[in-house]
């Protein structure tokens, strides 16, 4: 199984009730293993990997999807992973009691697994390749736009990037992606978010370290978010129990982690 030893060494295990587990990795950590990653993918994934313009993007895609399948296999205790996708592209694990989400940007990869009906995850490079202020009207609700514009100029890009990760995470958890206009939904962090036709969720900021911003949207019963960097490349302090968990902190309902 692809990266099984790396996952075991990092302390990966099935998430507990009320916990969302987020794996962080880098595709550059698996140079030389891309063919092994390719073998983990199904035909449609291999075909998509072949359509990337740049080899580095294809490599990240291969590692992300292979690592995703390996992590799900270990979490479920079976080589048969019933990973399917909705018409809108939302990943589903029917009959398992687990929800999952995948995000990658540049060479960075994040995978979320939770005991929940749905979960949404997004990571973005920090700083992003393009300025976001010009896109603010298409990203923000009027209230959010006013709040961002009230900030000091040098704080606006950071606020918009954090907001965008929250929007992406929320839309993934809703199962709509960008089929729903992000400028029509509020995406405040740390509070209950109830939009008509969708489950009530809460968005949590992720401890992703430098160079990234990340957010996770999950049902309200998910009150603990654990980020688990795969220590080959994402060097983090090792805790006394031998794990490389960088963030294990219960999140109290109503607290702000935006």
Is the pLDDT reported for residue 257 higher than 90? no
Q: Compute the distance between CA of residue 257 and CA of residue 169 in angstroms, rounded to an integer.
A: 14
What span, in angstroms and rounded, lies between the C-alpha atoms of 59 and 79?
Answer: 23
Which class for 230: exposed (0-12), middle (13-18), buried (19 or more C-beta within 10 A)? buried
Per the model's pLDDT, the better-predicted residue between 133 and 51 turns out to be 51
Tell me how far apart the terminal alpha carbons of the chain are, to the nearest angstrom: 36
Q: Which of 208, 204, 242 has the alpha carbon at shortest distance from 224?
A: 204
Higher confidence at residue 242 or residue 29? 29
Residue 85 CB neighbour total at 10 angstroms: 10
Cα(31)–Cα(27) distance, rounded to whole angstroms?
A: 7
Ramachandran area for residue 65 (φ above 0: left; ψ -120 to 50: alpha; else beta): alpha
Whole-number Å distance between alpha carbons of 158 and 168: 16
Dump pLDDT digits (tens) for 139-170: 999 999 999 999 999 999 999 999 999 999 99
Query: Does the structure show a pLDDT above 70 at 34?
Result: yes
Residues with Cβ < 8 Å from 209, sequence gap 6 or more? Answer: 24, 229, 234, 236, 246
Instruction: State the pLDDT at residue 128.
Output: 84
Q: Where are the alpha helices (DSSP H) in 50-141?
A: 55-76, 136-139
State the DSSP code for 16.
P
C-alpha 68: how far from chain center: 11
Q: Where are the alpha helices (DSSP H) in 128-180?
A: 136-139, 142-149, 153-174
Mean pLDDT of 34-63: 94
- Hey, what are 176's tokens? 């709509």
State residue 123 phi and psi, 5-degree precision.
-125, 150
Phi, psi (deg, nearest 5) at residue 169: -60, -45
CA atoms of 58 and 182, how far apart (whole Å): 28
Tell me the whole-structure pTM to 2 decimals.
0.88
Q: What pLDDT score was predicted for residue 254?
A: 31
pLDDT of 255 strictly over 70: no
| pLDDT number for residue 232 | 55
């Amino acid at each position: 199984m692809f990266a099984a030893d790396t996952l075991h060494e990092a302390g990966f295990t099935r998430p507990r009730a009320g916990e969302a587990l987020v794996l962080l990795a880098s595709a550059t950590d698996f140079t030389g293993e891309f063919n092994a990653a390719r073998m983990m993918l199904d035909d449609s994934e291999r075909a998509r990997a072949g359509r990337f313009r740049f080899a580095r993007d294809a490599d990240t895609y291969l590692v992300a999807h292979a690592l995703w399948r390996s992590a799900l296999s270990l979490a479920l205790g079976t080589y048969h992973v019933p990973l399917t996708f909705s018409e809108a592209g939302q990943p589903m694990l029917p009959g398992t009691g687990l929800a999952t989400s995948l995000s990658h940007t540049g060479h960075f990869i994040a995978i979320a697994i939770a005991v929940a009906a749905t979960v949404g995850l997004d990571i973005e490079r920090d700083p992003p390749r393009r300025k976001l202020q010009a896109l603010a009207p298409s990203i923000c609700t009027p209230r959010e736009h006013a709040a961002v514009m009230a900030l000091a100029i040098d704080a606006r890009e950071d606020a918009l990037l954090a907001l965008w990760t929250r929007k992406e995470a929320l839309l993934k958890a809703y199962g709509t992606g960008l089929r729903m206009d992000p400028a029509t939904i509020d995406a405040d962090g740390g509070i209950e978010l109830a939009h008509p036709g969708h489950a009530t969720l809460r968005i949590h900021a992720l401890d992703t370290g430098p160079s990234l911003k990340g957010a996770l949207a999950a049902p309200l019963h998910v009150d603990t978010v654990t980020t688990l960097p795969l220590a080959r490349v994402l060097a983090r302090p090792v805790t006394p129990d031998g794990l490389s968990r960088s963030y294990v902190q219960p999140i109290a309902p109503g607290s702000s982690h935006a």
